[in-house]
Structure 1
Amino acid sequence: MSVYVGNLSYEVSQEDLSAVFAEYGSVKRVQLPTDRETGRVRGFGFVEMDTDSEEDLAIEALDGAEWMGRTLRVNKAKPREDRGSFNGGNRRNNSFSARY
Protein backbone atom coordinates (compact mmCIF):
# COMPACT_ATOMS: atom_id res chain seq x y z
CA MET A 1 0.00 0.00 0.00
CA SER A 2 1.06 3.59 -0.36
CA VAL A 3 0.07 7.06 0.74
CA TYR A 4 -1.46 9.66 -1.59
CA VAL A 5 -0.22 13.22 -1.04
CA GLY A 6 -2.25 15.92 -2.76
CA ASN A 7 -2.09 19.69 -3.14
CA LEU A 8 1.70 19.68 -3.35
CA SER A 9 3.70 22.67 -4.46
CA TYR A 10 4.88 22.45 -8.06
CA GLU A 11 8.38 23.13 -6.71
CA VAL A 12 8.52 19.96 -4.57
CA SER A 13 11.20 17.33 -5.17
CA GLN A 14 11.30 13.65 -4.28
CA GLU A 15 13.99 14.48 -1.70
CA ASP A 16 11.75 17.13 -0.07
CA LEU A 17 8.81 14.75 0.23
CA SER A 18 10.99 11.89 1.44
CA ALA A 19 12.49 14.07 4.18
CA VAL A 20 9.06 15.07 5.50
CA PHE A 21 7.77 11.49 5.62
CA ALA A 22 11.04 10.18 7.10
CA GLU A 23 10.06 11.93 10.34
CA TYR A 24 7.37 9.24 10.72
CA GLY A 25 9.27 6.13 9.62
CA SER A 26 11.34 4.54 6.90
CA VAL A 27 10.49 5.72 3.38
CA LYS A 28 10.80 3.01 0.72
CA ARG A 29 9.80 5.00 -2.35
CA VAL A 30 8.51 8.40 -3.46
CA GLN A 31 6.74 8.94 -6.77
CA LEU A 32 5.97 12.39 -8.18
CA PRO A 33 4.10 12.13 -11.49
CA THR A 34 5.04 14.79 -14.03
CA ASP A 35 3.18 16.39 -16.89
CA ARG A 36 4.10 14.74 -20.21
CA GLU A 37 4.38 18.01 -22.09
CA THR A 38 6.04 20.32 -19.56
CA GLY A 39 7.86 17.84 -17.31
CA ARG A 40 6.53 19.78 -14.32
CA VAL A 41 5.32 18.00 -11.17
CA ARG A 42 1.54 17.58 -11.32
CA GLY A 43 0.82 18.60 -7.73
CA PHE A 44 0.39 15.16 -6.16
CA GLY A 45 2.52 12.18 -5.31
CA PHE A 46 2.76 8.80 -3.62
CA VAL A 47 4.92 7.66 -0.73
CA GLU A 48 5.55 4.06 0.30
CA MET A 49 6.76 3.37 3.82
CA ASP A 50 7.99 0.18 5.50
CA THR A 51 4.88 -0.49 7.57
CA ASP A 52 1.18 0.37 7.62
CA SER A 53 1.58 1.82 11.10
CA GLU A 54 4.24 4.27 9.83
CA GLU A 55 1.94 5.27 6.99
CA ASP A 56 -0.96 5.75 9.41
CA LEU A 57 1.20 7.92 11.66
CA ALA A 58 2.30 10.09 8.72
CA ILE A 59 -1.27 10.44 7.46
CA GLU A 60 -2.53 11.49 10.87
CA ALA A 61 0.25 14.06 11.28
CA LEU A 62 0.36 15.49 7.76
CA ASP A 63 -3.23 15.53 6.50
CA GLY A 64 -4.29 19.18 6.61
CA ALA A 65 -0.78 20.38 7.50
CA GLU A 66 0.64 23.51 5.89
CA TRP A 67 3.80 22.79 3.88
CA MET A 68 5.54 24.84 1.19
CA GLY A 69 2.61 27.28 1.20
CA ARG A 70 -0.01 24.58 0.62
CA THR A 71 -2.46 22.65 2.80
CA LEU A 72 -1.67 18.98 2.22
CA ARG A 73 -4.24 16.26 1.59
CA VAL A 74 -2.81 12.97 2.77
CA ASN A 75 -4.59 9.60 2.81
CA LYS A 76 -4.26 5.94 1.85
CA ALA A 77 -3.84 5.64 -1.90
CA LYS A 78 -6.65 3.89 -3.71
CA PRO A 79 -5.83 1.26 -6.34
CA ARG A 80 -5.68 2.71 -9.82
CA GLU A 81 -8.87 2.13 -11.78
CA ASP A 82 -8.68 0.40 -15.12
CA ARG A 83 -10.01 3.03 -17.50
CA GLY A 84 -10.31 0.57 -20.35
CA SER A 85 -9.70 1.53 -23.93
CA PHE A 86 -10.90 4.59 -25.81
CA ASN A 87 -14.71 4.87 -26.09
CA GLY A 88 -15.33 2.68 -23.07
CA GLY A 89 -13.80 -0.54 -24.35
CA ASN A 90 -16.30 -3.13 -25.50
CA ARG A 91 -18.83 -1.35 -27.71
CA ARG A 92 -21.56 -3.94 -27.12
CA ASN A 93 -21.73 -2.98 -23.46
CA ASN A 94 -21.76 0.73 -24.23
CA SER A 95 -25.09 2.18 -23.08
CA PHE A 96 -24.85 4.84 -25.80
CA SER A 97 -24.99 2.43 -28.74
CA ALA A 98 -26.90 3.77 -31.70
CA ARG A 99 -30.25 1.94 -32.00
CA TYR A 100 -32.38 4.55 -33.67
Structure 2
Amino acid sequence: MKVFIGGLPTEVSEAELNAVFEDFGPVKSLRIIKDRETKESRGFGFVEMVNDDEAKEAIRCMNGQSYYGKRITVNVAEDKGPGFSRGGFSRN
Protein backbone atom coordinates (compact mmCIF):
# COMPACT_ATOMS: atom_id res chain seq x y z
CA MET A 1 0.00 0.00 0.00
CA LYS A 2 1.32 3.43 -0.95
CA VAL A 3 1.16 6.06 1.80
CA PHE A 4 1.41 9.86 1.49
CA ILE A 5 3.43 11.77 4.10
CA GLY A 6 2.92 15.54 4.16
CA GLY A 7 4.28 18.38 6.28
CA LEU A 8 7.80 16.95 6.42
CA PRO A 9 10.53 19.21 7.73
CA THR A 10 13.17 19.90 5.09
CA GLU A 11 15.98 18.42 7.19
CA VAL A 12 14.47 14.91 7.34
CA SER A 13 16.36 12.32 5.28
CA GLU A 14 14.91 9.31 3.50
CA ALA A 15 16.99 7.03 5.75
CA GLU A 16 15.50 8.58 8.91
CA LEU A 17 11.96 8.36 7.59
CA ASN A 18 12.52 4.78 6.42
CA ALA A 19 13.62 3.81 9.93
CA VAL A 20 10.42 5.28 11.40
CA PHE A 21 8.16 3.35 9.03
CA GLU A 22 10.13 0.12 9.41
CA ASP A 23 8.91 0.09 13.03
CA PHE A 24 5.51 -0.86 11.53
CA GLY A 25 6.77 -3.42 9.01
CA PRO A 26 8.91 -3.90 5.91
CA VAL A 27 9.18 -0.89 3.61
CA LYS A 28 9.10 -1.66 -0.12
CA SER A 29 10.10 1.86 -1.20
CA LEU A 30 10.32 5.39 0.15
CA ARG A 31 10.85 8.70 -1.59
CA ILE A 32 10.92 12.28 -0.36
CA ILE A 33 9.93 14.57 -3.25
CA LYS A 34 12.54 17.23 -4.00
CA ASP A 35 12.56 20.43 -6.02
CA ARG A 36 14.05 19.76 -9.45
CA GLU A 37 16.27 22.83 -9.40
CA THR A 38 17.32 23.25 -5.76
CA LYS A 39 17.18 19.53 -4.83
CA GLU A 40 15.63 20.57 -1.48
CA SER A 41 12.72 18.67 0.03
CA ARG A 42 9.29 19.90 -1.03
CA GLY A 43 7.94 18.77 2.36
CA PHE A 44 6.18 15.59 1.31
CA GLY A 45 6.90 12.06 0.22
CA PHE A 46 5.61 8.56 -0.28
CA VAL A 47 6.29 5.24 1.39
CA GLU A 48 5.15 1.90 0.07
CA MET A 49 4.67 -0.76 2.70
CA VAL A 50 4.80 -4.47 1.87
CA ASN A 51 1.76 -5.31 4.00
CA ASP A 52 -1.49 -3.28 3.80
CA ASP A 53 -2.40 -3.90 7.47
CA GLU A 54 0.99 -2.59 8.58
CA ALA A 55 0.55 0.46 6.33
CA LYS A 56 -2.85 1.14 7.91
CA GLU A 57 -1.32 0.86 11.37
CA ALA A 58 1.43 3.32 10.40
CA ILE A 59 -1.23 5.75 9.14
CA ARG A 60 -3.25 5.34 12.34
CA CYS A 61 -0.25 5.92 14.58
CA MET A 62 1.63 8.58 12.60
CA ASN A 63 -1.08 10.87 11.20
CA GLY A 64 -1.17 14.16 13.09
CA GLN A 65 1.95 13.40 15.10
CA SER A 66 4.77 15.87 15.66
CA TYR A 67 7.95 14.98 13.76
CA TYR A 68 10.97 17.27 14.10
CA GLY A 69 8.60 19.81 15.61
CA LYS A 70 6.13 19.78 12.69
CA ARG A 71 2.73 18.09 12.58
CA ILE A 72 2.73 15.58 9.74
CA THR A 73 -0.12 14.23 7.65
CA VAL A 74 -0.04 10.51 6.88
CA ASN A 75 -2.75 8.88 4.78
CA VAL A 76 -3.38 6.52 1.88
CA ALA A 77 -1.84 7.97 -1.29
CA GLU A 78 -4.39 8.85 -3.95
CA ASP A 79 -3.95 7.12 -7.27
CA LYS A 80 -4.05 9.76 -9.99
CA GLY A 81 -5.05 7.12 -12.52
CA PRO A 82 -4.08 6.75 -16.19
CA GLY A 83 -5.72 10.04 -17.22
CA PHE A 84 -3.58 12.16 -14.91
CA SER A 85 -1.28 14.55 -16.71
CA ARG A 86 1.28 17.00 -15.42
CA GLY A 87 0.37 19.39 -18.21
CA GLY A 88 2.71 20.84 -20.76
CA PHE A 89 2.61 21.67 -24.42
CA SER A 90 1.41 19.54 -27.27
CA ARG A 91 3.58 19.08 -30.33
CA ASN A 92 0.71 18.40 -32.73
Taking only the aligned residue pairs, the percentage that are identical comes to 40
Q: What residue is the counterpart of 1:55 in the other structure?
A: 55
C-alpha deviation, 1:69, in angstroms: 1.0
The runs of 5 or more residues in structure 1 that have no matched partner are 90-100
Q: Alpha-carbon deviation of 1:84? A: 6.1
- Equivalence for 1:96: none
> Hey, what's the Cα distance between the residues in 1 that align with 2:42 and 2:86?
23
Partner of 2:41: 41
Letter in 1 for 2:85: R
Structure 1 or 2: larger helix share?
Answer: 1
Instruction: Give the root-mean-square deviation of aligned CA atoms.
Output: 1.6
Corresponding residue for residue 12 of structure 2: 12
Flag the structure with higher strand content.
Answer: 2
Instruction: List runs of 5+ in structure 2 lacking aligned partners.
Output: none
Change (3 A) 1:58 1:38: same
Hey, what's the Cα distance between the residues in 1 that align with 2:6 and 2:29?
Answer: 16
Alpha-carbon distance in 2 for matches of 1:4, 1:41:
14
TM-score, normalised via structure 2 length: 0.87
Q: Which amino acid aligns with 1:26?
A: P
**C-alpha displacement of 1:17:** 0.7
Residues 54, 69 of structure 1: CA spacing in aligned structure 2 closer, same or farther, 3 A cutoff?
A: same
- In the other structure, the counterpart of 1:94 is none
CA distance in 2, matches of 1:73, 1:84: 23
The answer to whether 1:83 aligns with 2:85 is yes
Tell me the matched-pair count: 88
TM-score for both structures, normalised by structure 1? 0.81
